[in-house]
Chain A
Amino acid sequence: MTTLAHEIPVSDIDPFSTEFLSDPLPFHEKLRELGPVVYLSRYEVHAVARYADVHRALTDWQSLQSGAGVGLSNFTHEKPWRPPSLLLEADPPRHDAPRAVLSQLLSQRRLRALKGRWQADAASLVDEVLAQGTEFDAISALAEPFPLRVFPDAVGIGQEHREHLLPYGDFAFNAFGPRNDRVTGPAKTIAPAIEWISDQCRRENLNDSGFGARIWAAADRGEITHEQAPFLVRSLLTAGVDTTVTGVAAVLHALATHPDQWERLRADRSLLARAFEEGVRLESPVQTFFRTTTTETRIADAVIPPERKVMMFLGAANRDPRRWPDPQRFDLSRDPSGHVAFGMGLHHCVGQHVARQEVTALVDALLDRVSAIELTQAPRRHLNNTLRGWESMPVRVRV
């Protein structure tokens, strides 16, 4: 079988460099324009950045597997930093049972039971923040505290040492990239967090009503094994916090920088769900994931050999002008349906309804209490190999 690898454009762009992560947008455009498939010479991986090709790569699990890892590292050749996720880093058939359990547990319909409580928590948090004044940091006052207030309780973990959650998630998402400073630095001190996370997944450390308990109950019913149960709890703790922090920040940033859209939303709260989708389309908190070809795979006019990593630029796909008119605009008159901020297909983020419900609760509470929001200085980015978020976002609100 011949490959046509020599016809695939080559680029030496480094998608994990500080320069790229600080401002990926110009690089995304270059990647999209080079061709449907690009070869990134620095890491010796293929890449897709256009919407149609990213959508195809996400949905064809038969040709593009997750079991060899969804980061740069190929688990066929390299040992992962922790036992692989049964959900994210798995394919059918092993993926089936874990996915079915979490998918039912985190369905939109089941999450309604928590909606009232989360709305009340959002209202309390915003009240607390405003009691301190009308200028604050949207990250440290809202984006970080709110998910931390509602999600660990929903999982049912203990109250002690929750300060490990954000650093652990940050580490995990950095670890999808290369072993650069963003990984090797924190690796020196992450061991206590890893151990704490592992402990929280044990049945005896979870309360008897949260998601954790329900996962263990699924094992009792034989839907998954008892060996699998702690790994499913681990999935929630790894992927359920930093991502929603970034999601809250993304929507707040979009609203704070588009006062006309903020006014539209104030005037018509039925746009709230759309504001969330459009906000995550624009910012794409999870910027990239990888797959590994299982066979010689054709994407558009390119043929990728088997057992090759393919890097999917979800953020680039979400701003592909081929799919989205004026993609850089945060526009509540657009239909953001079909964005790939949550991926698509078999591995479509199983927690997406958690994210929706959390973020809309918080933004709703803010809309009830403030009439305007604006940045007071340029926000500072938090650089992570995979997540696109902020370190700090000073804002001023008008009550």
Chain B
Amino acid sequence: MTAIVADATVSTGVRDLAVISARRIVSDDVVEFTLRRPDGSRLPDWTPGAHIDLTPQDGTTRQYSLCGDRWDTQTYRIAVQREADGAGGSILMHDTIHEGSVVRFGGPRNNFRLAPAATYLFIAGGIGITPILPMITQADLLDADWRLLYLGRTRTTLAYESELALHGDRVTVHCADEAGRAELESWRPSDPDVRIYACGPARLLDTVEAWGALPGGLAPRIERFAAPAASDPLPAVAFEVIARRSGTSTTVAPDETLVTALHRIGVEVLTSCGQGVCGTCETDVLDGRPQHRDSLLDDIERAAGSCMFPCVSRSLDKRLVLDL
């Protein structure tokens, strides 16, 4: 199979747009979306456990784990579980996002990195399977031993069950309606070298987290999907950027990066990767809230809003003042 080395030179166009190239129902409650860049160019690199921040055109921003194939340079795959009693983000995704829809994304970022180990125990509850899927691929590539406990309410709501069945008895599926509550305690390893990764509903994660570390071992790693605050603002698509030290300003159009807009008014920002990965373009924020699209800042740093990466990031407010 010939690999086409796709054009990856940095474009001046906005870097956070994606098109939904496929939409697939994978279980009763779960829809899988495949994303591509509008120009088909390469998406930022990612590692198992990573997530993107996704903003549908008129919705709030939510995090979704990447559950596709890292060796496919042009697509991201995410899966969204319909939450009837959630804040509405999943219903918006299910009901209004279809093939051809345009969305904005930030990152990827990874707070749930797979560490090297000889043996893994993966525990997934419901849609928590999504970050675990690429971890399983990785564990196989590393010739690590692994087991997966996949918990759900009913079998028809579990996504990717048939794909996982290919792994035979490494995978145990436990449905509450068939078998009652799972006896998690019986899954707790006694070998301190087993690395545990868990993702799913809060109560499952609380139980696993409470196991703690065995002597000589490390604590289980968990990823909690945080619901966005009800007051999360919708981002300003076009906004004004003020370069305070230069005494100039301009409007950043929806289809150009901050760096391009600044360049237009003679304010040069040095960049390197152009993807929000290397950190070279780090710029201090004096006023306004950045819309972070980089892969570098953690949640605390993002909330502080005192710096941002203009090669990919934008503004939540109509006016952003930078120390340039």
- A109–B279 touching, CB < 8 Å: yes
- B114–A96 touching, CB < 8 Å: yes
Does A274 sit at the interface, judged by CB under 8 A?
A: yes
Contact residues in A for B110 (Cβ distance below 8 Å): 100
- A100–B195 touching, CB < 8 Å: no
- A93–B142 touching, CB < 8 Å: yes
Nearest CB to that of B213 among chain A residues?
A222
Does B166 sit at the interface, judged by CB under 8 A?
A: no
Binds A, one of B3-11, B23-31, B222-230: B3-11
Contact residues in B for A94 (Cβ distance below 8 Å): 116, 142
- A108–B280 touching, CB < 8 Å: yes
Per-residue A-contact encoding for B271-312, CB less than 8 Å = 1, 0 else: 111100111101000000000000010000000000000000
- A303–B2 touching, CB < 8 Å: yes
- B142–A273 touching, CB < 8 Å: no
- A97–B3 touching, CB < 8 Å: no
Does B182 sit at the interface, judged by CB under 8 A?
A: no
- B273–A344 touching, CB < 8 Å: yes
Best-buried of A56, A107, A225, A294 by chain B (most CB within 10 Å)? A56
B282 to chain A minimum Cβ distance, whole angstroms, is 6
Does B42 sit at the interface, judged by CB under 8 A?
A: yes
- B42–A338 touching, CB < 8 Å: no
Give the distance in Å from the alpha carbon of A63 to the alpha carbon of B42 in the complex: 13
Does B47 sit at the interface, judged by CB under 8 A?
A: yes
- A225–B116 touching, CB < 8 Å: yes
Contact residues in B for A295 (Cβ distance below 8 Å): 1-3
Question: Given A56, A96, A303, which contacts B7 in the complex, CB threshold below 8 Å?
Answer: A56
Contact residues in A for B8 (Cβ distance below 8 Å): 55-56, 59-60, 345
Does B90 sit at the interface, judged by CB under 8 A?
A: no
Nearest CB to that of A274 among chain B residues?
B270
Contact residues in B for A356 (Cβ distance below 8 Å): 280
Does A224 sit at the interface, judged by CB under 8 A?
A: yes
- A96–B280 touching, CB < 8 Å: no
Does B141 sit at the interface, judged by CB under 8 A?
A: yes
Contact residues in A for B116 (Cβ distance below 8 Å): 94, 97, 224-225, 228
Which residues 15-40 of A sit at the B interface, judged by CB distance below 8 A? none
A107-B279, A228-B116, A348-B278 are contacts. A298–B2 as well, Cβ < 8 Å? Answer: yes
Question: Given B42, B114, B280, which contacts A59 in the complex, CB threshold below 8 Å?
Answer: B42
Which residues 208-230 of B sit at the A interface, judged by CB distance below 8 A? 218
Which residues 304-339 of A sit at the B interface, judged by CB distance below 8 A? 335-338
Contact residues in B for A335 (Cβ distance below 8 Å): 263, 268, 270
Give the distance in Å from the alpha carbon of A60 to the alpha carbon of B3 in the complex: 10
Does A277 sit at the interface, judged by CB under 8 A?
A: yes
Question: Given A51, A222, A223, A345, which contacts B45 in the complex, CB threshold below 8 Å?
Answer: A345
Contact residues in B for A142 (Cβ distance below 8 Å): none
Contact residues in A for B270 (Cβ distance below 8 Å): 273-274, 277, 335-337
Does A172 sit at the interface, judged by CB under 8 A?
A: no
Does B15 sit at the interface, judged by CB under 8 A?
A: no
Does A52 sit at the interface, judged by CB under 8 A?
A: yes
B120 to chain A minimum Cβ distance, whole angstroms, is 12
Does A296 sit at the interface, judged by CB under 8 A?
A: yes
Nearest CB to that of A300 among chain B residues?
B5
- A222–B4 touching, CB < 8 Å: no
Does B84 sit at the interface, judged by CB under 8 A?
A: no
Does A352 sit at the interface, judged by CB under 8 A?
A: yes
Which residues 90-111 of A sit at the B interface, judged by CB distance below 8 A? 92-94, 96-97, 100, 107-109
B273 to chain A minimum Cβ distance, whole angstroms, is 6
Nearest CB to that of A57 among chain B residues?
B5
Nearest CB to that of B274 among chain A residues?
A338
Does B115 sit at the interface, judged by CB under 8 A?
A: yes
Does A297 sit at the interface, judged by CB under 8 A?
A: yes
Contact residues in A for B48 (Cβ distance below 8 Å): 93, 96
A92-B70, A274-B270, A335-B268 are contacts. A100–B47 as well, Cβ < 8 Å? Answer: yes
- B3–A52 touching, CB < 8 Å: no
Give the distance in Å from the alpha carbon of A94 to the alpha carbon of B269 in the complex: 34
Does A164 sit at the interface, judged by CB under 8 A?
A: no
A96-B47, A107-B279, A297-B5 are contacts. A338–B114 as well, Cβ < 8 Å? Answer: no
Does B73 sit at the interface, judged by CB under 8 A?
A: yes
Give the distance in Å from the alpha carbon of A222 to the alpha carbon of B220 in the complex: 11
Per-residue A-contact encoding for B90-114, CB less than 8 Å = 1, 0 else: 0000000000000000000010011
Nearest CB to that of A64 among chain B residues?
B5
A114 to chain B minimum Cβ distance, whole angstroms, is 15
Nearest CB to that of B9 among chain A residues?
A55
- B1–A346 touching, CB < 8 Å: no
Could you pull out 13 A-B pairs where Cβ atoms are within 8 angstroms? A52-B9, A56-B9, A96-B114, A223-B115, A224-B115, A273-B270, A297-B3, A297-B5, A298-B2, A337-B271, A348-B272, A352-B280, A353-B280
Residues on B lying within 8 angstroms of A by beta carbon are 1-10, 42, 45, 47-48, 70-71, 73, 110, 113-117, 138, 141-142, 195, 218, 263, 268-274, 277-280, 282, 296
Known A56-B5, A56-B9, A96-B47; further 9 A-B contacts with Cβ < 8 A:
A51-B9, A60-B8, A61-B45, A62-B71, A63-B5, A92-B47, A93-B141, A109-B279, A273-B270
